[in-house]
């Protein structure tokens, strides 16, 4: 499914797909963080009695961050079928001019 289709499920499916990708990237990131033991976090998680909870929470909140970034990236890079430009590019047409604003006192 493409995000430009007119079906009612196209947008939620697009968002869900990219959210899942973001959570998967976060899980890989946390696994690498624990595997390489950066800052001793892997050792701390293994030796602590609440290490499992810490890893679950770290994965969840990293997942929120990565999923938000992945979804935002996908939305910004999405192109419409009528676009002749590259995805994510904007073309300004016309000229910019100042607009008068009324001042309230």
Quick check: is 46 in a domain? yes
Q: pTM for the whole thing?
A: 0.67
pLDDT at 6 over 70: no
Whether 20 is covered by a domain: the verdict is no
- What pLDDT digit, counting tens, does each position of 28-82 carry? 999 999 999 999 999 999 999 999 999 999 999 999 999 999 999 988 887 666 6
Decide if 37 is inside a domain.
Answer: yes
45 is a domain residue: yes
CA dihedral 47, 48, 49, 52 (to 10 degrees): -90
55 lies in some domain: yes
- Where in the sequence is the domain holding 64, given as residue range(s)? 30-76
On the question of pLDDT at 3 being above 90, the answer is no
Closest CA to 75 of 33, 17, 9: 17
Nearest CA-CA partner of 54 in 62, 63, 45, 64: 45
């Amino acid at each position: 499914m493409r995000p430009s289709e007119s079906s009612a499920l196209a947008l939620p499916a697009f968002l869900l797909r990219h959210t899942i990708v973001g959570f998967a990237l976060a899980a890989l990131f946390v696994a690498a963080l624990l595997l390489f033991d950066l800052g001793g976090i892997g050792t701390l998680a293994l030796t602590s009695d609440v290490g499992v909870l810490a890893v679950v929470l770290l994965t969840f909140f990293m997942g929120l961050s990565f999923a938000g970034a992945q979804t935002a990236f996908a939305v910004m890079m999405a192109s419409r079928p009528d676009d002749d430009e590259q995805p994510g590019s904007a073309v300004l047409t016309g000229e910019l001019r100042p607009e008068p604003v009324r001042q309230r006192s």
